[in-house]
Amino acid sequence: MKTFSTGDIAGMCDVNLRTVIRWIERGSLKAYKLPGRGNNRVTEDDFRAFLHTHGMPVPTQLKPLSNRVLIVDDEAPMASAIQRVLRAAGFDTVVARDSFHAGARLLQDKPALLTLDLNMPTMDGSAVIRFVRENPEIANTRILVISAMGEPLLKKALLDGADAVLQKPFDNQELVLLAEQLLA
Amino acid sequence: MKTFSTGDIAGMCDVNLRTVIRWIERGSLKAYKLPGRGNNRVTEDDFRAFLHTHGMPVPTQLKPLSNRVLIVDDEAPMASAIQRVLRAAGFDTVVARDSFHAGARLLQDKPALLTLDLNMPTMDGSAVIRFVRENPEIANTRILVISAMGEPLLKKALLDGADAVLQKPFDNQELVLLAEQLLA
DNA sequence: TCTTTAAATGACATTTGTGACAATAAGGAC
DNA sequence: GTCCTTATTGTCACAAATGTCATTTAAAGA
């Protein structure tokens, strides 16, 4: 479990160490104390939650250094196609063919990007997007919705919190470009 | 009885080994010494007590011993019923109503016990059990399959790796007893 | 037995918490 | 605009806790 000291956080948020301690004292930043003199430690999850609830930008040190992409699609040919293209472009790829594995992989692998097929019959894509955005642990995940659905539904996905949408059928270059933009 | 070296504890608490030794020297962390050069060992109970008295978070490696139960069931009344019974028996409960949330919660909360409804139309229970068993991170999660299905399918669940099965309808006491047995 | 790994130790470097006080920014009142 | 008020943040010095490094030695494998 990764933890940060007040100094780490002060550096990442570009504020004084004294200020971080005050945030902790006031209770807006959750922390625990080491036995010695009570030096503060903040877990990564608590720090992410803090950033999230205060609408603060995620520091570069916390940004997912990985270029891992989780591909959620129940149609094997489509999943493979996306995987092949993204892999060729240098991304790490993981495929989830059903909603259970999608949820599990999402929290196990913590991908930087999630490509989400909205046409899956057994999954409520809208609920997935909202779940991601509401979970500080993974809220920073980029979401690319891929679907054969019409404009209105894609618009709704964006409202739910998707970062981009891609309508099937799509061009391979278009996919790579979008992925790179989202992870830039 | 499980014991930890100073290095183990340093890793789990995300501090330097030197610091752990100082905690021991000062007496805030109870330990005993091996005869040789006096290498320190800390029992799991002492370590847990230490974490508790200092308000420190429990490291993920120690988590599985929690009494958290993840209830996977798409029928709201059944999920609520199980939750009420288990909560009354002192368990921490989390409910997942669909397979996506089941997967996500499983890896987010790392419950000690998973109660799994096999009748969910959108989920392949057998695949879930195998996924749990094949993932070292959660492999020792206890799995209790709850289902209205017949004997053969329950037998298959046991073969897949479930720890116990419970046929609907079931007695509340039966459920509590099984949960307690599985987490003993 | 031999080799490899991990832990203890001391000396030294760095970081952190604390308190008091200064500086800054936001918002009203005039 | 200026002058306040107020809350938040920054600065500084010092003591205490934690981290780093090199070295020695036990523990663990083979």
Q: For each of chain B's 184 residues, which pLDDT tens digit applies?
A: 789 999 999 999 999 999 999 999 999 999 998 888 889 999 999 999 999 999 999 988 787 667 899 999 999 999 999 999 999 999 999 999 999 999 999 999 889 999 999 888 888 889 999 999 988 778 889 999 998 888 888 888 999 999 999 988 899 999 999 999 998 7
Residues B54 and B108 in one domain: no
In a domain, A142, yes or no: yes
Residues B143 and B126 in one domain: yes
Q: How far apart are alpha carbons A165 and A169 in whole angstroms?
A: 12
In a domain, A25, yes or no: yes
The residue whose CA lies nearest the C1' of nucleotide C14 is A7
Residues A7 and A81 in one domain: no
Residues A120 and A40 in one domain: no
Q: How far apart are alpha carbons A62 and A11 in whole angstroms?
A: 12
Q: How many CB atoms sit inside 10 A of residue A77's CB?
A: 8
Show the domain range for B25. 3-59
Residues B80 and B158 in one domain: yes
Residues A49 and A108 in one domain: no
The pLDDT assigned to A39 comes to 95
Residues A46 and A131 in one domain: no
- The enclosing domain of B72 has a CATH number of 3.40.50.2300
Chain B residues with CB-CB distance to A27 below 8 A:
none
Answer for the pair A47, A94: CB distance below 8 angstroms, yes or no.
no
Residues B162 and B144 in one domain: yes
Residues A91 and A142 in one domain: yes
Whether this model's pTM surpasses 0.85: no
Chain B residues with CB-CB distance to A124 below 8 A:
98, 100
- The enclosing domain of B39 has a CATH number of 1.10.1660.10
* Cross-chain residue pair B55–A43, CB shorter than 8 Å: no
The pLDDT assigned to B64 comes to 64
B72 bridge partner residues: B96, B116
Q: What is the pLDDT along chain A (184 residues), one digit of tens a residue?
A: 789 999 999 999 999 999 999 999 999 999 999 998 889 999 999 999 999 889 888 888 887 667 899 999 999 999 999 999 999 999 999 999 999 999 999 999 999 999 999 888 888 899 999 999 998 889 889 999 998 888 888 899 999 999 999 988 899 999 999 999 998 7
The pLDDT assigned to B121 comes to 81
In a domain, A63, yes or no: no
Residues B113 and B41 in one domain: no
Please name the residue that has the structure tokens 């504020």.
A15
Q: Which nucleotide is closest, CA of A37 to its C1'?
A: D17
* Cross-chain residue pair A99–B104, CB shorter than 8 Å: no
Q: What percent of chain A has pLDDT over 70?
A: 99
- Out of B15, B39, B59, pick the residue that ends a domain: B59
Q: Indicate the number of domains in chain B.
A: 2
Residues A21 and A83 in one domain: no
The pLDDT assigned to A100 comes to 95
Residues B70 and B154 in one domain: yes
Here the tokens at position A69 are 């992409």
The pLDDT assigned to A50 comes to 92
Q: What percent of chain A has pLDDT over 90?
A: 70
